[in-house]
Structure 1
């Protein structure tokens, strides 16, 4: 009887991974929202293209780049998260299958997330710096944006270092 109860419990635990599927559907919807904002931002810039200054053009492009990086981040989380925690995606042999799919570990996913967050934060900071002179920028806000970006960088580096040391330690203990 206990064996049967244990088997039922373990089967239910394993099946519970499917509770994550609606989260990934929600992230697909968030990706569509970013697409709408991207298109709206791009189309809004087109009529101004012949008259905008270089600084304004760079700020608009940085905004588009920021949206693209955020979309990439969402896609990586959707694909790698689904494959890591829910089910393998049957795309074996498909010519467009990204090389990292099916090979990204949780540690690798975490590092991709940190790298994307640092890149997005860096673009936000660059946009803030680029905006200096066009509109008043509070030095206090600039200081905090720089500190937060630096915190993201340090977190990413420490996480990478921790993963490296952990992998190195597990190799030396097993071999």
Structure 2
């Protein structure tokens, strides 16, 4: 019976590799995001003299937004893979990010919600900047975006408080 139990547990343990294709998909999504980034950058560069100040700022905010999302995806890929699949063996690599191997699931949640708040804030700023030029943006849309952003901010604060309380209790599970 012990052999059956051991084989079953080994199968469960090996099942973590089912997550690997998800991380490959996230890597491919960064490539897709890079395409959108290049398209937006090309638009900014080719219309340099004809864009208004507002359009230029909106284009730059779009680039910042995509960069934050790409950074978030990298954190999720590295941390998720290391937390749930396998350690990434780059200990001696000179370009290894300082946070790699140190971001646990709890810290990952806080970083995730922080990035979402930043992305939501940038979207809100873009909406604010478009209010004068875009008649399709209604007060109701702005109110919904403010409400959703507020929920993200409150969620982020609650995650940070829970993380702080968990670290103070000594229970890091």
TM-score, normalised to structure 1, is: 0.94
DSSP 3-state at the match of 2:140 = helix
The match for 1:105 is 104
Measured in 1, the distance between the counterparts of 2:145 and 2:85 equals: 36
DSSP 3-state at the match of 1:61 = helix
The match for 1:145 is 145
Question: What is the CA distance between 1:144 and its match in structure 2?
Answer: 0.3
The match for 2:48 is 49
State how 1:17-28 maps to structure 2 within 5 Å: 17-28=16-27
**What is the CA deviation profile of residues 107-138 of structure 1, one whole-angstrom value per residue up to 9, with x for unaligned ones?**
01111101110000000000000111111120
Structure 1 residues not aligned, in runs of 5+: none
The match for 2:116 is 117
The match for 1:163 is 163
Is 2:95 aligned against 1:96? yes
DSSP 3-state at the match of 1:56 = helix
DSSP 3-state at the match of 2:95 = coil
Q: How many residues align?
A: 170
Measured in 1, the distance between the counterparts of 2:48 and 2:29 equals: 28
Measured in 2, the distance between the counterparts of 1:111 and 1:150 equals: 16
The match for 2:29 is 30
Measured in 2, the distance between the counterparts of 1:144 and 1:154 equals: 15
Measured in 2, the distance between the counterparts of 1:36 and 1:47 equals: 16
The match for 2:11 is 12
DSSP 3-state at the match of 2:169 = helix
**What is the CA deviation profile of residues 63-101 of structure 1, one whole-angstrom value per residue up to 9, with x for unaligned ones?**
010011111111111111001110111111111101111
Structure 2 residues not aligned, in runs of 5+: none
User: Runs of 4+ in structure 1 displaced over 4 angstroms?
Assistant: none
TM-score, normalised to structure 2, is: 0.95
DSSP 3-state at the match of 1:117 = helix
Conserved? CA contact 2:76–2:108, under 8 Å:
yes
